[in-house]
Amino acid sequence: MTERLSRQQVYQLAPWLKSPLITLSRLAPKSRVTPAIKHLVELRVSQLNGCAFCQRLHAEEARDSGERQARLDVLPVWAEVDAFDPLERAALAWAEALTLVHQHAIDDATFDQTLAAFGERDLLAFTSIVIAMNGWNRLAVSMRFAPDRVM
């Protein structure tokens, strides 16, 4: 598939796009949202949105940060395996619910589970990461950004 606009073209023509998304995706200081959780969530959201560019990028970042490939292999079925701890499971549930909100409302159980795991401040910080990832995915998918290295 051919890129519609390259990343360089997009950021040259619309430089205002990048900074807000970067800001939204930053980890809050002293947050329960760890870099490892952030990597898992960014990858899972990208899988849900069908963003090849971001899947490649975030899988590599996760591995570079010490994430085990075996866990990345089962990320699409995280709810069915015991590979993720309760905090990671709450994060993944919230990320999926927020990403798929156009299909169905976020149920109270998912909200309550995430709130109990992260607290109010970190729930909001985590929500901003999910919002940013969805924004990046929509930009990359709509412009057909190609992954840097696949083979």
Say whether 69 sits in a helix, a strand or coil. Answer: helix
CA pair distance 57, 55, nearest whole angstrom: 6
Q: How confident is the model at residue 7 (pLDDT cuts 50, 70, 90)?
A: confident
Quick one: pLDDT at residue 75?
98
Q: How confident is the model at residue 146 (pLDDT cuts 50, 70, 90)?
A: confident
Quick one: pLDDT at residue 20?
92
Q: Where are the domains of the chain?
A: 31-143
Predicted confidence (pLDDT) at residue 151 exceeds the cutoff of 60? no
Predicted confidence (pLDDT) at residue 39 exceeds the cutoff of 90? yes
Q: How confident is the model at residue 144 (pLDDT cuts 50, 70, 90)?
A: very high
What the block records as the tokens of 2 is: 């051919």
pLDDT in tens, 105-131: 999 999 999 999 999 999 999 899 999
121 neighbors 32 (Cβ within 8 angstroms) = no
Mean pLDDT of 76-92: 97
Please give the radius of gyration of the chain, using alpha carbons only, rounded to the nearest integer: 15
Q: Give residue 109's identity as a one-letter amino acid code.
A: A
Q: Give residue 83's identity as a one-letter amino acid code.
A: A
Average pLDDT in the chain:
94
- The per-residue b/e assignment along 105-125, b for 16 or more CB within 10 angstroms, e otherwise, is eeeeebeebbeebbeeebbeb
* CATH class of this structure's domain 31-143: mainly alpha
pTM of the model: 0.93
Residue 19, Cβ neighbours under 10 Å: how many?
9
Quick one: pLDDT at residue 13?
93
Q: Which residue did the predictor score with more confidence, 147 or 39?
A: 39
Quick one: pLDDT at residue 150?
59
Predicted confidence (pLDDT) at residue 149 exceeds the cutoff of 90? no
Q: How many CA atoms lie within 13 A of 69 on its CB side?
A: 2
- DSSP 8-state code for residue 1: -
